[in-house]
Structure 1
């Protein structure tokens, strides 16, 4: 299991200047190596007798450019530009590894056939982190001991250890990050033990959750968690600060200070949202052994008129956090298809069409009446239990009774997708 702990560091003014210059040199090296790769790709993308007669680069065909050739050129780079000698060699190699990973993600599709975007040239200030790939070993560039972080080529600086590193873990990497409110170090730690998910025979309580915009989530037991809307509440204040920035001269010191102030506002919004997600995820994991959620297409939902509210709620980020917290605690998280969860009746299964404005589910066949989101949460739970092969005796949980194996569901026709 690999975890990452983020701590704030307190470098001196000289160390801040050194780290900023390090980021700038790594940014320039990134841009040069990316340009080298793109030039090689343009000159070798087709055979010489099949090139376009309208526009093609001319000259000698360059040698193959990849991570290993660019890594071997680091020695020549330090000869031509002596300032690169003041950067830890492994940090420069990791910078090239990041570029190589982005390059391969663009050229080669993954298992699902999707590819990433083309790597971009970075403007001034866009590169915000560099890595020491080894910590607390004889040849490491970073050493963390007793609240002090020693970085090669930079020096010692205090670390605010607001959370102790758990025992049994080995320090793997140290990433120095420049954020709007200061400098941080992200320590990656690893433990050989891997938590195993709870056995199906041991599952006692199960719940289905339906995320929405009226309530952040509603459980199959009828409990609701109110939505926060961190961005919506801060939007008027953010708009005032952005108007102040528009009145300042571009590139001036006052404009840069105002940019940093706006960046801090966005940072605060993200931290409020993340803290809310973690608290909600921990509360669910502590109460239930199996949690059923919808496998939503967030990118598709974000193209609708409700895009700002959907992105402010950050359902995808919450499900990722819930999955990570559940893995550490051995709780099972089951993702099910969202098709028809709001339209079908959780009691009899008949389809009850309704628009988003109708918040009450009323079945014309069995007479079931409940909140729309609670009905969807019960459908989500039923689908998850059928996938893993359990039967829930009542929607309040399994209780003390042992779970019972169930038969696979027969195929159902797909119905329209409901957002909430």
Structure 2
């Protein structure tokens, strides 16, 4: 599935109609959630049928397309099913009990309620909300895309305007040119990532750089009177500032992930529990600003698109073990240089970790048979397979 996004060009009345459709979606979603809370044994089909009852009970609900109402019920069921799944899997901590939504920003149409004009640059919404004909601003031409492949259309509100997302049923494949290179990457805060060859990518610090401007916008917002026109303007400027930071993170994550995939045949990374890492009050802002999770999502996406193995390994002792001899060298987080007393290897802490991550990935590939890879020589001139074999023999002698 591919999602094409376009900015919508319309008038004030059309934007108000989109806002009304979004509010109806929020109301239906919350009503379905209330039905689940009050009635035992409700399933997804019951929520779908409940949409028709809501249309009869509330006149404004009939304005929205019937399939768009069902999409709102699907959102409620998605939250419910996720809660059930967390309970079944005994997820530690909060299970994510479904909550009522107060800030819905999108409405989703399925196969009906809209049609695309032959030029591929205009879309018409035919339900009772009165949205009408809108111009699509974007670089992708929908006129060449077969209409049956367009599965859904989502209208969403952002700080800088309204957008349309078209879900197209298609598969994206990329031709990968083999490079003969494999690497492991260690994500960090000083440098965004360090690979097994010692190359680093600088941390962009998007939020830190925009923090001064955002603080000024926050102060300006706090000085305005509530429910005033100036407060709405200040709030919109602040939202645009955060939206810019979000887009900068997204752009950086996509470009960095794509560059890694196209230049390597195998990539290994640490399987980090980011939700647990951000509980550290001193590092939470820096970890969130780095957006490791979004980067790893794009890395796995581009890896599957190019048929490149992207392997997640456990992060245990990757910074403590020596990548040359395997000796465990205890060090605190403030120590940024790895100095091995056994073999004398001196490496940057992240560089040493990246080498260990790559070695773990080689062992994983060898066990699962997902591919063949030849481990490069490490700092001491030994391959990963030789080093692993020596560890095994040493363990037998010790036993």
Q: TM-score range, shorter-chain basis? A: 0.7 to 0.9
2:96 to 104, 113, 117: 117
SS at match of 1:376: helix
List gaps (5 residues or longer) in structure 2. Answer: 367-372, 380-384
CA distance in 2 between partners of 1:149 and 1:318 (Å): 33
| TM-score of the aligned structures, taking structure 1 as reference length | 0.81
Name the stretch that deviates more: 346-355 or 148-157: 148-157
RMSD value over aligned CA atoms?
3.0
Q: Is 1:31 the equivalent of 2:30?
A: yes
Residue number in structure 2 paired with 1:312: 289
CA distance in 2 between partners of 1:185 and 1:87 (Å): 17
Q: Is 1:184 the equivalent of 2:163?
A: yes
Q: Which has the higher helix share?
A: 2
**When the two structures are aligned, how many residues end up with a matched partner?**
374
Name the stretch that deviates more: 374-383 or 235-244: 235-244
1:247 to 223, 227, 240: 223
Over residues 331-350 of structure 1, what are the superposed CA-to-partner deviations in whole Å (9 max), with x where a residue is unaligned?
Answer: 11000011111111111110
1:234 to 210, 219, 226: 210
1:173 to 136, 152, 168: 152
Residue number in structure 2 paired with 1:44: none
Given the superposition, is the C-alpha separation of residues 3 and 110 from structure 1 closer, same or farther in structure 2, using an over 3 Å criterion?
farther
Contact 1:220/1:395 (8 A) holds in 2: no
Over residues 309-349 of structure 1, what are the superposed CA-to-partner deviations in whole Å (9 max), with x where a residue is unaligned?
Answer: 11111111111111111111121100001111111111111
CA apart distance, 1:233: 1.2
1:343 to 317, 320, 343: 320
CA apart distance, 1:89: 0.9
Given the superposition, is the C-alpha separation of residues 320 and 410 from structure 1 closer, same or farther in structure 2, using an over 3 Å criterion?
farther
Given the superposition, is the C-alpha separation of residues 225 and 111 from structure 1 closer, same or farther in structure 2, using an over 3 Å criterion?
farther
Given the superposition, is the C-alpha separation of residues 394 and 110 from structure 1 closer, same or farther in structure 2, using an over 3 Å criterion?
farther
Residue number in structure 2 paired with 1:157: 134
CA apart distance, 1:231: 0.7
Contact 2:266/2:309 (8 A) holds in 1: yes
CA distance in 1 between partners of 2:391 and 2:72 (Å): 50
Residue number in structure 2 paired with 1:12: 11
CA distance in 2 between partners of 1:27 and 1:237 (Å): 33
Residue number in structure 1 paired with 2:39: 40
CA distance in 1 between partners of 2:104 and 2:88 (Å): 29
SS at match of 1:109: helix
Q: Is 1:299 the equivalent of 2:282?
A: no
| TM-score of the aligned structures, taking structure 2 as reference length | 0.85
List gaps (5 residues or longer) in structure 1. Answer: 42-63, 397-402, 414-420
CA apart distance, 1:190: 2.0
Contact 2:323/2:356 (8 A) holds in 1: yes
CA distance in 1 between partners of 2:193 and 2:18 (Å): 43
Given the superposition, is the C-alpha separation of residues 73 and 411 from structure 1 closer, same or farther in structure 2, using an over 3 Å criterion?
farther
Contact 1:197/1:327 (8 A) holds in 2: no
